[in-house]
Each structure stands twice: as C-alpha cells, then as structure tokens.
C-alpha cells in the first residue's frame, strides 16, 4: 500500500489515503528483496536498535523507519599491575562515538555487532547508523523498497544529523572508513558544532581518488617500478603477451589477492600461472568478484537501491579505462543501469581546510583501494591533522585491523588521538581481524594446494624421471650415432 498522491490536498491532520501497490509474482521478484517477515523477526530479537522516522524525500510527506544501533558503555574491567597494586584510573571518553562504515552498500547493524560490544566493554558509547536503502533501513513505512531517487548524499547527511538528534548527542567523535570517512568530512565541514573529533580510516575524498588507486596498482604489478614487485610485473607482462592471462580483466583479481595476501601472494599466484598452475585459484577469485554484485547479501551488503548514489553522485567506477590491470572494471560495469557520473556534489578538496575538529588519518601501507598518497594529501589539507600509517596493513582497518580502529576511536573520544603516533609500532603488531585472517589463510591454502598437490607431484616426478633416462641414454649412445638427426620430441602432456 502507498499513500495516494492526492492525499497532500487533504486538511492537516487527516490520515493519508492509501492506494493498492502492484504486487509482483514470486518468480518476478529480484533475489535481493528482503522478506518483511525476516526483518520483523530480527527486529524482535534485538534490543539495541533505535528507530527514527525520516522523510523519504525532503519535499514529501512520506516517512520511512531509519534505524541505528547503540551499545551503551559498560564499566571497563581494571587489571591490577604486576606488583598487585591497583592500576591508575583510566581516562574516560568525553563524548559518544559515531562509526560510519564503508559503503554506501554496506550495512552496519549485523556485520559490526561484535565491534560495538567490544567498544562498549571499554566504556565507549557507540552509535552506528544503518544507511538508507540498506538492511534495516531499506523499506518504507508500508513495507516496500525506498525509491532510488530518494537515496542521495544530502539526504544521507541529514540522516546522520537525525540520528544524533534522536540519540540526544550534542557532539560525537566521528569515525569513518572509506565512504564513511567522506561522510565524516562533510559533517565536519557543514556542521562543525556536532563533531568533537575525527578518525578517517582509508579515507575517500573524491571520485578522482580512483585514478590514484588505478595508477598505483599498475606501477606495482604492470610497470614494476618497485624492486619488490618488478619480477612479478615482468612475468605478468610475459603471460599477457602469450595470451595466457586476459590482462584487461585481471585488475580486480590482482587487487583482491594483494589486499588479502600482499605482494607475496600475488607473486606466488603469478609464478604458478607461469608454470601452468594457479588457474583454479585465479578463476575462483574471479568468480567470487563477479558474483558480488549479482547476489547481494541481505543485511550485510545490498547494492541495488544505492547504485544511483554510488555511481551517479559519488562516481564509483567512473574512471575505468579498460587498460591493463584496470581495478575499476567490475565497479564500472555495475553502474551501467544508472546515469553516468554527474560531478562532485561537494568539493571536499577545497572545503577540507575549513575542518576545525582534531583529526587523525589512518592508512595502511599496502592499501591499493585508497593508497597512502590520498591519506597524506588529505592530512596536508586539514589544519592540524595527524597521519598514522600502519605498516603491512591494507584497506579498511575497520574490517581488517579492528583492534587498531577501536583504540583510535576510544582515544579520539578521550581527546588524545594525537598521542597514538608514538605507538605506531605497537599498533601494527596487533593481530588482524578474524575474518581477514580466514580469507588470508584460505588464499594461502589454495596456493599451496596447487603448488604441492599429489597429482602435480606425480607429473613432476614422471617428467624428472623421463629427463634422467634421456640424459643417461644420451651418455650411453655410441659416438657414431650422436650425429644422427634426432626424432621429433613429444610435447609433455602435463
């Protein structure tokens, strides 16, 4: 059921007139649509969700339930010192923490439940907003999907303000990752009175950031400008010249392997391809990447409704050029059904000097999605900002190095984030997040299986034995027959 358009002519206070909504046959429904019954069941079993009724469009009367999760702080456990004396009193957070994850298709409530509980156990009051069009904020008041035209950057910023107002939070330490860091910058520029401090993790500043990431990936794995990856780049160029690797579609695969395994994993995979192996791992990674857009995961990642925001307003994939190792290939294909990039809504490069909140910028040294160059330039634009580069880390510390981000969030809420630069080595030594560890181990196992699989060993043993017999036969052949023309050499079936 949807409100009738003529209901706006009714007197004030009169209930809207509802008209019948056309119903889709079960076979015609997209697989991404969330069943209302499933959402209702999840809402009933969660006690940390709050609801704010927001306008679907700024100029319209229709409302939808925007939801956010809040984990109230618990008294942190105090551990005694080695001599048995009580520890010194810890500094308490001055303000709540608002965490804005990467997106805009990423959900907040279910994927980061453990993160909120962990921060709450350390005395932090944590809020996370479910992005409109995703997860628990996907449906309107009648149970239908929000219109794609209502999901804009300006409305999302208003949603953030509405969440802070509903939670009665005057100021918050805003922690953003990727696209969430872009929202945090906009909030600090347009509403500085609501921002106590900023933590910008793997920040996104403009659509042109993709050009930096594209150029950096090619420098490492195509041009080979660094000694650590020059041999890998040479082998990859040779495989491309032989037609054994489709270099125009290899960028997303190389990027994914790098993010979860580093340059060593990329080298191992390319070396395996050079000797006729590695195709199983390569194709598996490519299939996972190709299916990420077609099969959204409800309450985790839902691309369909926010595609217009991602590609038309934010310019995701707008700079794909189809050249060698283009990492933007898949994201550009995802935006074919929506209008082209229309230009930046806000020029954050020009507005960044207006940010007055204390700012800590986090970047992983191996991040190829938002390379450290972007973080360094952003730090130079924001007055007084500090840069903390984590050695060996990749993109999104929120997802891959959660403990580092938790420390940064708490210290930011306490007003001491600038002191973290003295502990960079200790932070880099913290363990990776369980999910990223599982992905890295899975990649290592897949590469090892192709390198040491029994059937491969048997073929190699047979090949070595055949070469040994040929060498012995050559040594025992009479001198008079050595000049005779050899017969055709059969190609190794392996």
Whether 9 is in a domain gets the answer: no
Residues 361 and 280 in one domain: no
Whether 285 is in a domain gets the answer: yes
Residues 53 and 160 in one domain: yes
Q: What is the CATH number of the domain that holds 39?
A: 3.40.50.1820
Residues 259 and 395 in one domain: no
197 phi and psi, to 5 degrees? -160, 165
Residues 200 and 321 in one domain: no
Whether 456 is in a domain gets the answer: no
- Name residue 361's beta-bridge partners: 200, 387
Residues 235 and 311 in one domain: yes
Residues 171 and 219 in one domain: no
Residues 224 and 137 in one domain: no
pLDDT of residue 277: 86
Q: How many domains does the chain have?
A: 2
Report whether the peptide linkage leading into residue 104 is cis, meaning its omega lies within 30 degrees of zero.
yes
Whole-number Å distance between alpha carbons of 342 and 318: 10
Range of the domain at 103: 31-75+91-206+345-432
Last residue of a domain, one of 381, 414, 432: 432
pLDDT of residue 478: 59
Last residue of a domain, one of 334, 364, 387: 334
Whole-number Å distance between alpha carbons of 50 and 36: 18
242 phi and psi, to 5 degrees? -85, -5
Whole-number Å distance between alpha carbons of 140 and 54: 10
pLDDT of residue 4: 44
Residues 48 and 196 in one domain: yes
pLDDT of residue 78: 59
Whole-number Å distance between alpha carbons of 435 and 446: 17
Residues 130 and 50 in one domain: yes
* 140 membership: H or E segment, kind and range: none
Quote the tokens at residue 165. 């107002």
Residues 316 and 174 in one domain: no
Per-10-residue mean pLDDT of the chain, 494 residues long, equals 41 42 38 54 84 92 95 72 55 94 93 95 96 94 92 96 97 98 98 98 97 97 95 96 93 96 95 89 87 68 92 95 94 89 94 98 97 98 98 96 96 96 95 93 90 65 72 68 43 36
pLDDT of residue 29: 39
pLDDT of residue 290: 76
* 308 membership: H or E segment, kind and range: helix 307-308
Whether 489 is in a domain gets the answer: no
pLDDT of residue 280: 87
């Amino acid at each position: 059921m949807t409100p009738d358009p003529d209901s706006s002519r009714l007197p004030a206070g009169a209930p809207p007139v509802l008209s019948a909504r056309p119903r889709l046959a079960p076979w015609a429904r997209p697989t991404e649509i969330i069943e209302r019954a499933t959402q209702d069941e999840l809402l009933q079993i969660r006690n940390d969700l709050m609801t704010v009724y927001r306008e679907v469009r700024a100029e319209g009367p229709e409302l939808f339930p925007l939801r956010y999760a809040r984990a109230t702080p618990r008294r942190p456990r105090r551990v005694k010192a080695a001599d048995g004396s009580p520890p010194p009193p810890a500094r308490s957070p001055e303000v709540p923490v608002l965490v804005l994850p990467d997106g805009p298709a990423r959900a907040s409530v279910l994927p980061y439940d453990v993160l909120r509980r962990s921060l709450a156990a350390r005395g932090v009051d944590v809020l996370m907003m479910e992005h409109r069009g995703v997860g628990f904020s996907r449906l309107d008041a009648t149970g239908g999907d929000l219109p794609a035209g209502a999901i804009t950057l300006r409305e999302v910023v208003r949603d953030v303000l509405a969440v802070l107002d509903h939670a009665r939070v005057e100021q918050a330490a805003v922690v953003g990752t990727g696209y969430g860091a872009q929202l945090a910058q906009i909030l600090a520029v347009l509403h500085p009175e609501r921002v106590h401090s900023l933590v910008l993790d793997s920040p996104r500043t403009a659509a042109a950031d993709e050009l930096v990431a594209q150029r950096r990936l090619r420098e490492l794995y195509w041009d080979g400008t660094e000694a650590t990856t020059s041999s890998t780049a040479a082998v990859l160029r040779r495989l491309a010249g032989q037609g054994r690797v489709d270099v125009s579609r290899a960028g997303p695969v190389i990027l994914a392997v790098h993010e979860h395994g580093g340059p060593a994993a990329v080298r191992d995979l390319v070396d395996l391809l050079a000797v006729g192996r590695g195709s199983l791992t390569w194709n598996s990674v490519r299939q996972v990447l190709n299916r990420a857009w077609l099969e959204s995961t409800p309450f985790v990642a839902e691309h369909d409704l926010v595609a217009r925001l991602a590609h038309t307003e934010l310019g995701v994939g707008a700079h794909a050029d189809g050249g060698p190792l283009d990492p933007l290939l898949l994201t550009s294909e995802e935006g074919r059904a929506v209008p082209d990039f229309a230009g930046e809504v806000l020029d954050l490069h020009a507005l960044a000097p207006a940010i007055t909140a204390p700012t800590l910028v986090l970047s992983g040294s191996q991040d190829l999605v938002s390379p450290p160059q972007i973080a360094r330039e952003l730090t130079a634009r924001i007055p007084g900002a500090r840069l903390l580069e984590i050695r060996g880390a990749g993109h999104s510390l929120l997802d891959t190095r959660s403990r580092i981000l938790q420390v940064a969030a708490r210290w930011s809420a306490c007003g001491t984030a600038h002191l973290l630069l003295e502990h960079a080595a200790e932070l880099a030594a913290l363990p990776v997040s369980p999910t990223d560890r599982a992905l890295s181990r899975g990649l290592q196992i897949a590469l090892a299986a192709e390198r040491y699989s029994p059937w491969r060993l048997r073929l190699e043993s047979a090949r070595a034995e055949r070469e040994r017999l040929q060498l012995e036969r050559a040594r025992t052949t009479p001198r008079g027959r050595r000049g005779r023309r050899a017969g055709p050499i059969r190609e190794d079936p392996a």
